[in-house]
Amino acid sequence: MKKTIFSLLFFMVVAAAMNHAVAQESTDIRNTIVYRIQKGIYNRALKYNDVPVATNALYNLCIMESQNDSLLFALGYMYFDNQKYLSAALTLTDVLMLNSGNVSALEMKALSLEQIGAKDKALEDYETLYLKTNNINFLYKMAVFQYDLQRLKEAKTNIDIMLTNKEADSIKYYFPNKENEQQEVVMRASLHNLKGMVAKSEGNNEEAKKQFAIALEIDPEFFIARNNLEELQK
């Protein structure tokens, strides 16, 4: 037992020493003229909205401070903001390796994966986000991707969970209408529409019609739900 306690204390001391060394190294690097120049270029490039120059300077800063997850997150955000979603996802993966608790990085990575069509990987991240935050919006994303990936039983389970949540009556989502403009729809209506789509995929058209009808009772202007119902009534 004493040996075990000693070993634990030893590793704690070593870890603390390593953290101190990293912190000292970061302080020393930030005091160098090269670091200051790159930081100045980065700040000036942001001020002038020169994204390529800002990105290059940020790259250099990330190399000089390889353990600084904040710099790497800034690079990931820059990629994301400029719709370079693959680069954003790869960068944010590295951020999470340095700081697994960075929920913002995880959400941005999930959104980036969603944009490049990597639905299975995005679903994994949304599952983690929901476990970390219990945010119903992440559960909604999960259900949508589960439907897209034909994991219908899981999608249906999560839809039913959300339908018991009072937040479903206040949260709004946007869907295209007949004119392809954005239409605001309450979550509860969109959940019944999604449940109808799941039922249709399962071959249960009567249940699908019922769910689309409920969605329209909640929001009579919900174009997608109306279109889905009309398709089944032909």
Tens digits of residue pLDDT in 203-228: 999 999 999 999 999 999 999 999 99
Residue 4 vs residue 75, higher pLDDT: 75
| pTM metric for this prediction | 0.83
Confidence at residue 27, expressed as pLDDT on a 0 to 100 scale: 65
Confidence at residue 93, expressed as pLDDT on a 0 to 100 scale: 98
Instruction: Encode burial over 114-149: b for 16+ CB neighbours within 10 A, e otherwise.
Output: bbeebbebbbebbbbbbeeeeebbbbbbbbbbbbee
Q: Which of 145, 232, 157 is nearest to 195 (CA)?
A: 157
Task: For the domain made up of 153-234, give the CATH fold.
Answer: 1.25.40
Q: Where in the chain is the domain with CATH 1.25.40?
A: 153-234
* Ranges of H-type helices in 31-135: 33-47, 51-64, 69-81, 85-98, 103-115, 119-133
Residue 220 vs residue 1, higher pLDDT: 220
Confidence at residue 26, expressed as pLDDT on a 0 to 100 scale: 56
When pLDDT is averaged across residues 68-89 and rounded to a whole number, the result is 95
Say if CB 80 and CB 116 are below 8 A apart: no
